[in-house]
Structure formats: C-alpha cells, structure tokens
Amino acid sequence: MKTALITGASKGIGLEIARELCAKGYHVLLAARNPHAGSETASRLVRQKYVCTFVPMDVSDSASIREAHRQVSTKIQHLDVIINNAGVMLDHSQSILAVSESLLLSTLQTNAIGALTVVQAFLPLMQRGGRIINVSSSGGQITNGASTFAPAYCISKTTMNAITLQLSSALASEGIAVNAMCPGWVQTEMGGAGAPRSVSQGADTAVWLATEAPQSLTGKFLRDRKEISW
C-alpha cells in the first residue's frame, strides 16, 4: 500500500487532498498541529473504511517535526508522497513597508522553512519514485512582478518555490520528483466564502502530482495540471 504524508490536513485543501488520496487506496498520514481536530478528522476517515493515521505535527517547530518522524518511523518503512500543504496568511492588505519582522519570520517559518524541514526529516523514508508536492500560491510568482495583496505571505510562497527548485535539483539523481502547485482561490478558512473554487478543484493538481503525473515531471510550478511561470 502506498503512503502519503500531508501537512496541515485537519481542514481545507489539505483535508480534501487527504480524503482523495484515501479514496485512491493510499495510507494517509494526516498531519495536523491541533491534536483534537487532527485525531477527530483521521477517525472520521477511518470510520469510512479508509486507512488513515493521525500524526501530530506543528511545521513551525522543528522539534515537533522530528518527533513526528520518530513516531511515523515506528509504524511505516517507506513513504511515497510528501505534500507540504500547511500554511498561514498572517498579513492582509498591508504594505511591505509596514510588515513587522516577527510577522515576516513566523510566516516564513511555517510556509517555507517548515516545508523544507519536513522534507529533510522524512526523506530517509522515501525511495526512488517518491513525489514531493509543495502547495504554493500564484501570490509567490515573480516573473511579471510581485503580487502585493499580502507581502509576507507572497514572499513566503516565492521562497517555497525557490526551495522546490533546490530540492528538485538535489533529488533528481535519486529519482524523486519535486514540484510546486497553486490551488487557485479556494473556499476555505484562508480563501473565504467568496472564493470561486471548491476544495476539490483546489486539491486536484496536488492529487494528480501525487498519483498520475509522469515521474519525469520535476522542478515545475503548476496550476490546473499545467506549467505556470515562477
């Protein structure tokens, strides 16, 4: 049975990715920082006859990531997929000129450095054919200039994209594919009720990258299963 670790999977896009990978027969390691929400969510999936294990993990805390890896290693011998989905948007319509150091650091810690630390910790469980998917945002695109709606958030996603390319290069010889994807503007707590996309539309490209995309596809940024600019 294939295994997939999904961070921030207690709700929103992460939960939808978890549900869809469960339905495709994966053993989902549902990681969440809130133990109550995480274990409740995993139990709900298990009651639907899916194979799902709750993993407590706060991606902004490297000790928590290490402990999650220790716990997972006692239960499974290999990991096929890592999906770095956990994310926060702490600034809204704020100018880059007013962004505080603490807000910028905590956004980067969760959205970018946390994702890298998760990969570093769990990589020993991954073999040739592994897939790493970073849930990024078009807010991180810089090819045609920067988005300004939430500068700290957008900078964190640009950083996540840079991490994606670094990891893709570092892991090419090991046959592990690393890609970033943008879910679009999705109806979740982060996206708000006015967003045009459903969670299942938002999850689609990540699920495709985890399961059906060619293994040779690596080092790309995608939306709706198609490459977009960095």
Could you list the active site residues?
153
Binding-site string for ligand NAP from residue 110 to residue 149, where x marks contact by CB under 6 A and - marks none: x------------------------x-x------------
Cite the DSSP H helix spans in the chain: 12-23, 35-47, 62-75, 101-108, 114-122, 151-171, 199-211
Exposure of 64 in the CB half-sphere (CA atoms within 13 A):
16
Residue 120 CB neighbours (<10 A): 14
Question: In the β-sheet with 79-84, what is the strand arrangement from edge to edge?
Answer: 52-56, 27-32, 3-6, 79-84, 126-135, 177-181, 221-223, 226-227
Residues that bind ligand NAP (rule: CB under 6 A) add up to a total of: 30
State the nearest-atom distance from the C-beta of 79 to ligand NAP, in Å. 18
> Is residue 101 a contact point for ligand NAP (CB under 6 A)?
no
Closest to ligand NAP by CB, 193 vs 215, is: 193
Exposure of 156 in the CB half-sphere (CA atoms within 13 A):
29
Which amino acid appears at position 78 of this protein?
A: H
Closest to ligand NAP by CB, 143 vs 173, is: 143
Reference 170, options 211, 209, 218, 208; nearest CA is 218
> Is residue 34 a contact point for ligand NAP (CB under 6 A)?
yes
State the nearest-atom distance from the C-beta of 139 to ligand NAP, in Å. 7
Q: How, if at all, do strands 79-84 and 221-223 pair? A: unpaired
Residue in 3, 107, 179, 188 binding ligand NAP, rule: CB under 6 A? 188
Closest to ligand NAP by CB, 37 vs 103, is: 37
Residue in 76, 103, 146, 195 binding ligand NAP, rule: CB under 6 A? 195
Which tokens hold the place of 37?
């929400």
Binding-site string for ligand NAP from residue 40 to residue 79, where x marks contact by CB under 6 A and - marks none: ------------------xxx-------------------
> Is residue 106 a contact point for ligand NAP (CB under 6 A)?
no
> Is residue 185 a contact point for ligand NAP (CB under 6 A)?
yes
Residue 16 CB neighbours (<10 A): 25
Q: Which residues bind ligand NAP (CB under 6 A)?
A: 7-8, 10-14, 32-34, 37, 58-60, 85-88, 110, 135, 137, 182-183, 185-186, 188-191, 195
